[in-house]
Structure 1
Amino acid sequence: MPDDGNDANGGTDPLFRVDSPIFTRKELLEIEHIPNEERIVGRDEQIKKVANALNPAIAGGSPRNMIVYGKTGTGKSLVAKHVTQRAKRAAENHGTTVGTAYIDCAQSNTETRAISTLATQLNDVGETEVKIPPTGIATDDYYARFWRILDARFDVAIIILDEIDKLGNDEILMQLSRAGEAGKLGSCKIGIIAISNKISYQDKLEQRVKSSLQEREFIFPPYDAEQLRLIMENREDAFKPDVLTSDVIPLSAAFAASEHGDARKALDILRHAGEIAEERDDERVREEHVRDARSLADVNRFRDLLQGQPTQAKLTVLAVAELTAARRESKIESNDIYDKYCELTTALDVNQLSQRRVYDLLREQAFLDILGQEFEGRGRARGSVMKFYLLEEPETVRQAIQRDAVFDQMNGE
């Protein structure tokens, strides 16, 4: 007879918790959560700038395209989603139909995946009679169906392309920004919000894409410790009253402020601290939980950076970590990294790439802020050499990478 979740006395199974002793609204600490305006701290100027760029959409006009820059955890995605939602509501009050879509280009990291994801998000088969198969049709066919969906459903579409630098090419920007001019759309207008962690992203765009976008640029600065403290205090009701000791939020803010003012990491630390206290059956969240949570947040943040990266790329990063830990020196030459990479591929029975390809992978990881890189002189008449270095502690890198199934044998599993 199947277990119905109740014990023999008809009560709740003691193995499971219905009511958390620590949290009341844990979703307030989730990265995906879009808070109300009063909970958004230190981004008033950025909110106004993004709103001004989107303002023409309220009356059915063409919003301004924009590229938003800033390090991880500076509120770029949060502000883009928040302002877009408000623009959609304001447009409805003026009789304008606005469609909004968001994609993470680290996940939908090819042009075909990106456009099929956008089409799926904005479609209503009952209204458009357009079907979007997950696979099996050409990229041009996805675009054709996408244009039909937009014209059938919306006056304006606002599209957020997060981590745009993770896409393999710029073609989707060209297609979206020139859709009206090229006659692909009849009446619907498109506005693009492209988000990147790399200030140099625009420099890598083709000139024809830059000309077509005619975008505005906004830079989001890191949060300071006081702003991070306010962000967490504004979400303190995620916890039950008096659960947090007085030092928990200031310490979480100090940790995040010391590492590039990352609000995402601050909330990560605070959430993990509560979860650790809950797992240990502690009644309050204390400093010791925050310190343990910081280590866990480091691993999770680095794992998120690596998400979507192929195993070969992870092996190059792991090679840097292994050499850094063994030598106690931070900057490693690419030749040495390749030798260690070859050892790892042999141990894991993984195909071995050429030295040139591994060097290309290392530079890609540096571009994505997974590694650092630096030219270092060898002395008079000996030129210089490229060296790579970690941006996290070696053990943090190891823990994050070894969650990939291919590395299980390194853990003796």
Structure 2
Amino acid sequence: MNFASFVPVKSENNLEVVMRSLIKLCLLMFLPATLSANEPSPPSTNAPVAAIEADLLLREIRYDGKLTDNEAKFIVDIDAESIGKIESSVTLFEGDVAVMPAKLPPGLRIVREGRQYRLVAARAGRYKFKLEVVAKIIRAEPWNQISFTGPEAGIASVAAEAGGTGVELQLLSGTPLEPEKSDTARVRGVLGADRNVALRWQSKATEAARRALITCDTTATAQITPTVIKFATQLRYDIVQGNLSKFSVVLPANHALTRVEGEQIRDWQISVAQASSLPSAKPTPDPSREGSGITVAADQLPSPGGAGGVSEVQILTVELIKPVEKSYHLTLYSEQTVESLPFHDQLALPQPQGADRETGSLTVSAEDTFVETESTTGLRQINAPAGALAAYRFYGRPLALGVKLR
């Protein structure tokens, strides 16, 4: 027997048995960890609020408000639907607001968290209910004002009425619907993406007691051609006190208004009045004339129509969507027809009404026309810019520039 060949074979078989045992041991050690990693993780108890809120939807919300000097109360009509199989919630109101106790449909409850109210639905279903909400009134002289944030909804609308005599009510956020012009104590509108319910109101007596204080800087240009004189008049209002929601501008009778430019203009219209019926302008002293106390009465105003004597003027009334504060810019474009040459007339400018002080400038240029300037009223000539025929400064009304064209 050859022992040399037998011993290695036996050693090789023993090695194979040992390797198999090691493999089985390793499998027993790592298999539980592998199975644990493959198991689905249990649902988190701190799921994001957004995922829960997606299951509670508000189809429509309507605010019906009654406002006085001491109380701002809303009846809120809500149409909600919960489509989730578990409890879901949504932010209902946030801000300076209180929700009065109410009888809710089964499965609903309201939870308060600081300055926030949340609507919680325990199960799926369609819910229609009403809440009484009271908002805190903030006094912002001369206005009473309320503001709070509502929920996201497919349709969000507001209607409000202010009690009292001669009260003006304004919607500050969203899109107001066209109200009756004679009824300033009611507003209706659709809320915007910010979901903000913001209103303010005041009595006309309070408004009269605190009249807006306004100054105006007028920059006008007149381009003279053989057939037409084109005016561009920019009115830059500085609102020193109060706010500006409606104002008027006097247009000379021989001006044809072609365009009105300004922000937040709801509407504008032109009416006709006698120049003699307008209030007297408040002259502003010319700082270049020290000690000058000369003023001009309203009946000495050069005729806006051109020829001597008092004539009719046009009143442009501009109404803004909501009142503005601090400043406002309005630009008017108008034309005066040149019937034939030679032509002789006075150039008059649109005049802002209600301004406590007005200063401004007039720049005249000519195209294919020989222009001769004659008398000036209320104007002081200054250096003309390049390409201009003449330039003037003024510090109040009345003013006019006599020209002769040929």
Q: Compute the TM-score of the two structures, normalised by the length of structure 2.
A: 0.20
Point out the structure with max Rg over C-alpha. 2
Instruction: Between the two structures, name the one with larger relative contact order (CA 8 Å, sep ≥ 6).
Output: 1
Scaled by the length of structure 1, what TM-score is found? 0.20
> Whose helix fraction is larger, Structure 1's or Structure 2's?
1
- The answer to which structure has the higher strand fraction is 2
